[in-house]
Structure 1
Amino acid sequence: MPAHYHYAILLDLSIIIVNYKTPQLILNCLASVYAHTSGINVEVIIVDNQSNDDSKAIIQQAYPTVRWFDMGYNAGFARANNLGIKHAQGRNVLLLNSDTLLLDNLLARCVRVLDENPDVAAVGAHQLSRDRQLRPNLYTTFGQMRRAFYIIPITPFFQKLLYRFVPDTQYADPSQVDWLSGAFLMTRPSTIARAGGLDESFFMYGEDVEWGHRLGQQGRMLLLPDAAFVHLEYGSSTDYQQHEVTYINRFKPQVQVSQLLWIRKQYGAGAYLLLMLHYVTMIPIVFLWKMAVNLRNRQPLFSELENQRAFAQQVRIFLRFFWQTLFNRPGFYKV
C-alpha cells in the first residue's frame, strides 16, 4: 500500500483557508488553531487569490508545514476553496475564514460529531464578534435570507404577510439549520462528492447558502448550540466597512448580485423575476416617498435624495447581470 495512502487515513481534518492579502490574520488564526486543537491530526491548506505580496513567505516561515496553492488570479471564495478541497487529504474538510479565531478545542468536537452521526452532512458553530459577543441577526434559514431582500414597510401586517409568503423551515432538532456559514463549515469529502463542490459561478457571498441547499440534501446541517468561534469579519474586504447600510441599501452590490444568483438557482426563474420586479418597481416609490417627506417638512423637493440615487444605482448593477442570471448561465458573477 503506498505511503501516501497511510498518511491520508491518519489525517482527521484538512483545514482550508483562502488568502487575499491577509497574512497577519492567518498567522493569528493558525496560532489559535494550534493552541486549542488536540486529539486529532490536521493539515492546513492555504489557497492564495493572487495577493501579490509576501503572504506565502510570512506564513510558511511561521508554519512551514502549511501546504500552499496559488490560484494565479483573484478567483473568489468558491473556486479557491474547491481547489483546496481537491488537494485535501483529510477524512474531513473544514472551510475556515482567515479572519477567525478559535477559543477551545472546537475542531476535535466537530470531527467527533461527524464521526458519531453519519446522518449529519455538515457542522458549524456560532459566531462571536471581536468583543466576544454573540453576533446577532445571522441567518440560519433560507426564509430569513429571502425575507431580507424585500423592502416593505416595517409594520406587523406587512411583516406577517411576508412571513406567510416566505416561511422558515421547521425542524424537530433546534440545532438543525438550512445552511451554515462558509466562515466555519466542516463536512466530509464523501459528502462533497455526492453534493458537488461550491458553485464556481459565485465570486463572493451566497455560495455557502447555495451549497448549504445541496449539502442539506445529503443529511442534516447542524449548528452546534454551545460552540462558538470569533469572526472578525471582512478581513480581506476593507471597502465593505465603508458601505453605508440603510433600510433600502442593505447590502453591498456584490452581496446582492450573488444572492440573486442563489435565488435563481434554488427557487427558479419565477422567484428571481419577482424579486427583480420588486426592485425595479421600488425605484420610483422610494423617490416619491422621500419627495413627499421633503414637502411635509418644507424642504426643497429634490433635497437629500442620495440614498434613493444609491438604490437606483444598485438596481442598475443588478440589471447588468439580468439575462445571465435569468437563464442561469455559467460564468463569473463578479461586480
Structure 2
Amino acid sequence: MNVSIVIVNYKSAELAVNCISSIKQFTHGIDYEIIVVDNNSEDNSEQILKAVHSDIVWVQTGYNAGFSRGNNAGFKVAKANYILLLNADTLLFENSIALTFNRLQERKDIAVIAGLQVNPDLSLMPYFRNRNEFRKFLYVVPNRFNKYLDKFFPEPHFEDPNQAELPCGAFMMMSRETIDKVGAMDEDFFMYAEDFEWAGRLRKAGKLCYFDDIRFIHLEKPSPFRRTNITPINKFGTQMQVSNLLWIRKEYGVSPYLLLIFHYVTLAIFFYAWKITVNIINLRNPFFQLRSQKIFGLKVWVFLKFFWKTLFKIKGFYKIAEADNIDVRFK
C-alpha cells in the first residue's frame, strides 16, 4: 500500500462520491486505500457512499469532530506509509496523487506537498502561501496603511521556488514518519487554521512545497461556518477568526494575540462612534444603518468569549456555539 487517502465527511455524501470517483478515474501507478471519516452526519451518507464505492474504509466519529479530529481518526486506521488529506468537495482531473507520492519519494528534503487549488474552469484559486501574508490580512486597516504592514510583516524568500510556509489542507500529503515526528493535527481546532498550526510543526521536518503540475479542483461546498456579508470591515467569518486567533496565540505567543484583540475591540468602538457621529452630522437618527457595525461588534464579542481560554492555551474544543454564528444570523 502506497497511499492512504483520508476524506472527512459531514453531510456531503454526494460530493464525496464524486470525489472518490475522480480518484479512481485519474489515479494509476500506485496502490491506495480510501478512508472516509464521517462526523456524525446523521443522514444516509454511509449508504450513499458504499452503494457506489463499496471498497472504502468507513470510520464514524460519533459527533461533529471537525477537521483536525476527523483526520486524526483517519490516521489511526491508515495502513500506508504516506497519507493524503483530501477534502470531500474536491475533484481530481489528473494523476495528481501518484505524482505527489513519486515526488516525495524523489525529494527527501520535502516533508509535505500540497496541491494547487483550481476552479472548475482550471483557473488558479488564490491561497495564502506564507504566514506574514495571512497575518496582514488579519488586520482591518485602510489601504494606505498596507505599506506599513508590509514592513512589519515581510514576505519570506526561499532558494527553492516551490517552497512555501502554509500548505493547503484540502490536498496535502506527507509520510507517516513525518507525522510521527511532529505529531498529529491539533485537536483544539474545530475548523480553519488547523493546517496553519500544523504547518508550523511540519516545517521542522522538511520543506513544504507546491508544484505547478500538482493540481486539484476545489468546489468549496456551502458551509454554515463560511463567511458571509463580506466587507472591508467584516472580512472574516466568526468560527474562522476564533481559530485564527488560536493559531496566532499558539505559534506567535501572547503579545501578537493581545495586539489583535486590542485592534478588534478598538475598531468595534471606533466604527460605532464614527457612524453615529456621521448620522448626527447629517441630521439622521444616530442609530441609522448600523448593521455592519453591529455584525463586527458581535463577532468581537464572540472572540472575547474565548479570550481567557486562548490566552492561557487551555486545552479544549474551540468551536463556537450555534447562537454565536454571526454569519448565519445576519444572512
Normalised TM-score (structure 1): 0.92
Partner SS for 2:216: strand
Instruction: Using the TM superposition, give the Cα deviation of residue 234 of structure 1 relative to its aligned residue in structure 2, in angstroms.
Output: 3.3
Aligned to 2:143: 154
- Asked whether the equivalents of residues 225 and 240 of structure 2 are also in contact (C-alpha less than 8 Å), the reply is no
Q: Does 1:262 align with 2:252?
A: no
Question: Paired residue for 1:226?
Answer: 213
What is the rounded CA distance, in whole Å, between the counterparts of 1:172 and 1:51 in structure 2?
Answer: 45
Q: Equivalents in 2 of 1:61, 1:190: separation in Å?
A: 34
Residue 106 of structure 1 and its aligned partner are, at CA, apart by: 0.5
Partner Cα separation in structure 1 for residue 184 and residue 30 of structure 2: 25
Show the counterpart of 1:53.
43
Number of residue-to-residue matches in the alignment: 320
For residue 207 of structure 1, the aligned residue among 194, 198, 222 is 194
Maintained 8 Å contact 2:5/2:32: yes
1:70 is aligned, of 54, 60, 67, to 60
Question: Secondary structure of the residue that 1:214 maps to in structure 2?
Answer: helix
Query: Given that residues 234 and 240 in structure 1 are in contact (C-alpha distance below 8 angstroms), is that contact kept between their aligned partners in structure 2?
Result: no
- CA distance in 2 between counterparts of 1:287 and 1:316 reads 14
Cα offset for 1:286?
1.3
What amino acid does structure 2 have at the position aligned with 1:218? Answer: A
Aligned to 2:94: 104
Q: By how many angstroms is 1:227 displaced?
A: 2.5
What 5-or-longer segments of structure 2 have no aligned partner? 321-331
Which residue among 174, 178, 203 is the counterpart of 1:187?
174
Out of 2, 19, 32, the residue aligned to residue 42 of structure 1 is 32
Q: 2:275 aligns with which of 262, 271, 290?
A: 290
For 2:264 and 2:283, how far apart are their aligned partners in 1? Answer: 28
Relative distance call for 1:130 and 1:244 in structure 2 (3 A) is farther
Amino acid paired to 1:97: N
2:6 to 16, 23, 28: 16
Q: Distance in 2 between matches of 1:288 and 1:52?
A: 45
Matched, 1:248 2:237: no
Distance (Å, rounded) in 2 between the aligned partners of 1:239 and 1:221? 27
Residue number among 136, 161, 183 corresponding to 1:174 in the alignment: 161
- Residues in 1 aligned to 2:226 and 2:120: alpha-carbon distance in whole angstroms: 17
The unaligned stretches of length 5 or more in structure 1 are 1-10
* Contact 2:249–2:310 (8 Å) recurs in 1: yes
Cα deviation 1:146-198 (Å, max 9, x = unaligned): 1111011111xx11111111222211122110011110010001000001000
% identical equivalent positions: 43
Does structure 2 retain, via aligned residues, the 8 Å contact 1:179–1:209?
yes
Once the 2 structures are TM-superposed, how far is the Cα of residue 211 of structure 1 from its aligned partner? 0.4
Q: Can you list the C-alpha shifts for 1:271-324, whole angstroms capped at 9, x where unaligned? A: 111110111111121123333444566654321110001100000000000000
Per-residue CA deviation, residues 49-79 of structure 1 (Å, 9 max, x unaligned), is 0011111111112111100010011111000
Residue 96 and residue 301 in structure 1: after superposition, are their counterparts in 2 closer, same or farther (change >3 A)? Answer: same
In 2, the alpha carbon distance for the partners of 1:30 and 1:17 equals 9
